[in-house]
Amino acid sequence: MTLLYAFVGAGVVGCGLYMILSRNLVRMLLGFSLLATGANLLLFLAGRVGSQQPPIIVEGEQRLGDAADPLIQALILTAIVIGFALTVVMATLVLRAWRQSGSIRAEDANAAEAMGAPPKKPGNTA
Amino acid sequence: MTDALLLVAPVVIPFIGAAIAMLARKQATLAAATGLVASLLLAIASALLFARAMTSISTPLTLLGNWPQGIGLSLSATLPGVALVMVTALVALAAAIYAPVDIGPRRRRAGYDPMMLAMIGAVNGAFLTDDLFNLYVWFELALLCAIGLLTLDRRPAQIHGAIRYAAFAMLGATFILLGIGMIYGITATLNIHEAAAALARTPPNVASATAAALLFGGFALKAGLAPFHLWLPASYHVAPASVTAVFAGLLTKMGFYALLLIFAGLFGTASESPSAAQMAPLFGIIAAATMLVCVAGALAQTDMRRLLAYHVIAQVGYMMAGLAIATREGVAAAIFYMIHSIIVQSNLFLGAGLIRRASGSWDLTRTGGMVRHDPLFAALFAVPVLSLAGIPPLSGFWAKMIVIRESLDAGMAWIGGVALIAGLLTIVSMATFWSDACWKETPGQRIRRVPGTGLAAMALLSAATVLIGLFPQGLWTLAQQSAYMLEIGR
């Protein structure tokens, strides 16, 4: 079960990384979304997939019995929120780039590289 | 209770300031005042926290929400964190004083003040936290604010730079998250000191090696170490000078601080840990590559911001050399270098902003004449320039000398040699930079007056550089204590 779970997580992360390498900015955006999901799956695995009991102390007891790891669930919730926020910000940037230049190709998004780049040959300040 | 308040103050003061500035951003003067007052309060609070941490025998520690230790988040006032918080406050104050030079009402309405304050708060949070996951959260928060600050004017260059920056930083952050997850899987704790103790008990295995690789990749990307440095010169130069100055001072150093925390603290590479022998050679190669490649990159640039951006990462290479030496003194050298570098890099970008303001161009081929028109500026600007080049008696000389001395002591003379070559190239680059910007006369050029607030901000940082240069012993003792604290935990 754990091994299968690990392979699924690795597969999702692999797909995400492949899409991030794309020159299409929208694919890159989806890749980041997928990568965050894959990372959350693997984070879940780090807390061990075992008991399915919710981590609630039974009434009258002092200690938590056999239960799923509550800490890792809290971490994943936080990671989901952060991942979502960053994906939205990235989407805003891609949308803005598309509105300005009408292109979602990464090669066209190089105004920053061109700004202040050293001249190609003497006297030519391109 | 006072301890708890003092400990959260460096995080909470900027956040409260950010909230007020967010509501008041339509009134530019009110937002500007909030930024300045919050930075001043932060400077006072961080000095008090530093004094408290230095005078008490036990480390001030606070557990948020009174959870038991190891489950709840804890902030602790240890070295080097408290010293870095103080330096952060200094840079924040200088940036707030400088801000009127290039942050007008339009940029304030776009949210300069709230985002800058929130970023400072996030940086302080990362310096004070004891918790690995919390460290990751502070990095993400700083990233979100940084994206906002990069795109203040929404020009195409800024959007494109921000896409580069965000893409690399998000990739790094995901690796960091995966690495932290693996550390939790191995040690069942997220507290750095408890995890370090647990890791020291177990021999290195595939899981801890993978975790180390993921964390190293992620934080090296944030710190801008070669070969993960290309995003930095492609994005930093699109922001206004007061923003770039804070980025250059704090963000890469925050990444390097995390590297120190993870490798000197968690994996114990500076002591006799089994994992140290495996990692040190790799660190050395990366440090040498960063120093040489980035200085060479700087030599090719004519745009002031791009030139300085390359120097930012070249300097991280020297710090990495300190970590690569893998002794406690090496780590202390890295900490000394880090504090020197934060102050100098911020000052250089502030100076470049003033040169642009006076001469109308970022391009070194079109600048000049600052010595004749404004000798005070030229003198103030010479301090960070000479310090970065490593000319005695300024802070950069001691920082470089200590790194090289420790590399010789540890029998890694080749790192010292590479540092010397890179240092020589830095002198060449800085000498041309200063003479092009200040000494050279460009015919037919009109030079405008430099604003007084800009000079005041530079004077503050230059004074700190001179002070470190004249009394390096105090900072060196502090750095040695910091290296010890990183290694033993608390």
| pLDDT in the model for residue B271 | 73
pLDDT band at A126 (very low <50, low <70, confident <90, very high): very low
- Chain B positions touching A94 (Cβ under 8 A) are 163
DSSP bridge pairs for B69? B72
Q: Is B218 exposed, middle or buried (0-12, 13-18, 19+ CB in 10 A)?
A: buried
Instruction: Check pLDDT > 90 for residue A77.
Output: yes
CA atoms B380, B381, B387, B391: torsion sign: negative
Q: Mark yes or no for CB contact A109/B159 under 8 Å.
A: yes
Spell out which chain A residues touch chain B, with contact meaning CB-CB distance below 8 angstroms. Answer: 13, 20, 25, 28, 32, 35-36, 39, 42-43, 45-48, 71-72, 75, 78-79, 82, 85-86, 89-90, 93-94, 96-97, 100-101, 109-119, 125
Mean pLDDT (10-residue bins), chain B, 490 residues: 85 96 90 94 94 80 73 82 95 95 90 95 94 94 95 92 94 95 90 88 87 94 91 91 94 95 87 73 93 93 92 95 90 95 96 91 86 89 94 92 93 92 95 89 80 94 95 94 82
pLDDT confidence of residue B457:
95
Q: Do B184 and A46 touch (CB under 8 A)?
A: yes
A 10 A CB-CB count for B170 gives 23
Residue of A nearest to B154 (CA): A96
Interchain proximity A20–B171, CB inside 8 Å: yes
Q: Among A35, A36, A118, select the one facing B301 at the smallest CB separation.
A: A118
Residue type, A19: M
Contact A110 B160 (CB under 8 A): yes
Place of tokens 């992360």: A13
Are A116 and B303 inside 8 Å of each other by CB? Answer: yes
CA dihedral A84→B210→B134→B475, nearest 10 degrees, is -130
Residues of B in contact with A75 (CB under 8 A): 133, 181, 184
Domain encompassing residue B29: 2-488
pLDDT number for residue B313: 94
Instruction: Decide if pLDDT at A124 tops 60.
Output: no
Residue B144 to residue A89, Cβ atoms within 8 A:
yes
Choose, out of A30, A35, A94, A115, the residue to mutate when testing the contact with B (most B CBs < 10 Å). Answer: A115
A42, A75, A116: residue with CB nearest B362 = A116
SS (H, E, C) B416-456: HHHHHHHHHHHHHHHHHHHHHHHHCCCCCCCCCCCCHHHHH
Q: Who contacts B272 (Cβ-Cβ below 8 Å, separation ≥6)?
A: none
Q: Which residue has the tokens 């964190």?
A: B81
Task: Return the C-alpha torsion angle A113, A117, A120, A123, nearest 10.
Answer: 140
What pLDDT sits at residue A52?
Answer: 75
Q: Is A61 helix (H, G, I), strand (E, B) or coil?
A: coil
Q: Work out whether strand B61-63 and strand B74-76 pair parallel, antiparallel, or are unpaired.
A: antiparallel
Distance (Å) from the C-alpha of residue A91 to the closest C-alpha of chain B? 10
Average pLDDT over chain A reads: 86
- State the smallest CA–CA distance between residue A101 and chain B in angstroms: 8
Instruction: Please judge whether B184 and A118 are an interchain contact, meaning their C-beta atoms are less than 8 angstroms apart.
Output: no
Q: What's the gap in Å between the CA of B419 and the closest CA on chain A?
A: 26
Cβ neighbours of B166 in A, within 8 Å: 86, 89-90, 93
CA-atom Rg of chain A in angstroms: 22
- Please state the separation of Cα B77 from the chain's center in Å: 19
The alpha carbon of residue A100 is apart from the nearest alpha carbon of chain B, in Å, by: 7
**A90·B166 Cβ contact <8 A:** yes
Q: How many residues does chain A have?
A: 126
Q: Which residues of B touch A71 (CB under 8 A)?
A: 71, 184, 190
Chain B closest-CA separation from residue A55 CA (Å): 14
Q: What is the pTM of this model?
A: 0.94
Which residue of B147, B167, B365 is in closest CB contact with A28? Answer: B167
Domain chopping of chain A, boundaries? 2-51+69-107
Which residues contact residue B399 at a Cβ distance below 8 angstroms, ignoring those fewer than 6 apart?
Answer: B318, B333, B336, B337, B340, B341, B390
| Number of domain units in chain B | 1
pLDDT in the model for residue B76: 86
Residue A114: pLDDT over 60: yes
Task: Could you please state the CATH topology (level 3) that the domain comprising A2-51+69-107 is classified under.
Answer: Helix Hairpins (1.10.287)
Q: What is the model's pLDDT at position B70? A: 62
